Structure 1
Amino acid sequence: MDGLPSSYLAATVTRREDHTDDLATFWLRPERPVAFEPGQYVTLVLPGASGQWVKRPYSVLSAPHEGEIELFVERVDGGELTPSLFGLAAGDALGVRGRAAGAFARDGACTHHVMACTVTGIAPFLSMLRHAAADPASGARGDRFLILYGASTPADLGPYAAELQTFARGEHVSAVVTVSRPWEAPNWTGEAGRVEDVLRKHLDALEWPLEETAGYACGNPGMVSAVHGLLRRAGLDDAHLHEEAYFPDAGETAPGEAPPAAPPARRQGVTAAPPGGIVLKTAPRPPERD
């Protein structure tokens, strides 16, 4: 791809799998590897309608040891980048920033992790699980995971509910998959309700030591806020609550970096992201230098 901003690499779509009209997984291979930690995001760039480059960040679903970048993406009508991205097929080119970013990561101070997510918010958690499964040192720690994965309907879960269930066959992962519109899926046999509706039931049943438990939420901001409120009331320490809120901005939905977990009163009035789809976490990020 000619004329890319200087900090971006040419990449090729090696494979694409559509799950619904608006949800798809893309596998990308940059011209050279892009290093990242589980939980981070990469920024894609494509030409916009007016000829300018449009950049948007997307959480990486693949683990660092995998050879390609796997992204689970929702197409947004009126978005500046996702309609163009959904026009790509295997063999097509796009740009990927040469370094990943983001501070959303597994909490190294805790051995128990309760993770709540909606739709494409599963990406950083599956990256963490795949990495943990492939890393002998991680397995030796004996970390435990409770993953709660929600969507409106089963189709919106993509193939990742099945992958979670595969992880849950082991002794270290418990997986709960829930849909908020079960009446649209008469054959659904899993949980019914929003993620925040079923979280306490499953967390309480595990009887984890709260002083060793970290909480994470990734997805729409309403869910993120509700989950953190529930986890605080359950007794988790604010220092071990982590979030990645996907804020719609400029017609896109992208991983944001939100402020650290705080009591609800301090979070009031936070309704939108700064330009570009990023919500700041702990400190503003400097502008990209291309």
Structure 2
Amino acid sequence: MTTPYVAPYGGLLTKTLDDEKEREEKLKEQQINVTVNDNLETLRPESIFIKGVDNLSTDDLKFFIDYYLNFETITKHDDEGNELLEYVAKPINDQLTFKIQWINDTSINVVFKTHEEAFKALSAISISSNPNENQTISPPSEFTSEYIADIIQERETKPYNPTIQFRKKQNLLNRLNSSEEKPENVEDELKMDEDESAIVLYTRQSLQNDRKVKNASAYSRYYLLHGEPERKPKRFNDRQRQQRGNRRRQSNDEDLFANKIGGNRRARDDEDDLFADKLRNRDRSPGREQTRARSRSPMRDY
């Protein structure tokens, strides 16, 4: 009698694929048609829309979302009574992962895995109309008309201002951890950049039409002023060529099921994002943002 073949991944892969399929089917069910300003639209249940991001980079926005979603702020005082802020990451199981999709110069989508996560983020970054009301952290099992009307209603986000210090401190900590030399004028590095405190953002549930148009770079104010950066072919030395060759050979041994776990994806031109690395190398002062190059890189996951 022949021993039955057992898949090397066992039942774990099957469960992962089943969970992914169930998640995608649920998202499809939640793609409900709604009327917005007399136009028929479709919900994008796993994403929230943010506008007003003209002077912000992808990293700035990542810190903004992280600050309100994945960190707790603790206030302490030093021996002289000065107030000190400490940022503590929530337990890993309570944190939410997300990715930024640039739509145009002024707006983005923040994409989560499920609608429940997107709704939690929308609640976390929104200013409540009733400060005494406890914010709901879970959407209803069925989308009522009242619920849909609420989540597609554009509202102001919580202030961007507190996330400036958070971003600076996290960047400084990363530098201190990666370098033995302590940066000079640490206090100066933590000072607020001029005009950043004036940033006001607005958010709501994303709609399917909240996406970049074809040839989006042609509509970008930045590209209109400065043109698109030239792409130079990469040059590799002998060692790098050998490493690249090794990676190609190793690719034959990679997980054949990796693409299945990811499920069906949208077309590549929907996923590739001209604005994903917007202002990545710019000076942090918004007034000087146009003096630095903007790269055209594919969207990164965060």
TM-score range, shorter chain: under 0.3
Which structure ranks higher in relative contact order (CA pairs < 8 Å, sequence separation ≥ 6)? 2
Structure number with higher strand proportion: 1
TM-score (norm 1): 0.24
Q: Which has the higher helix share?
A: 2
The structure that has the greater radius of gyration is: 2
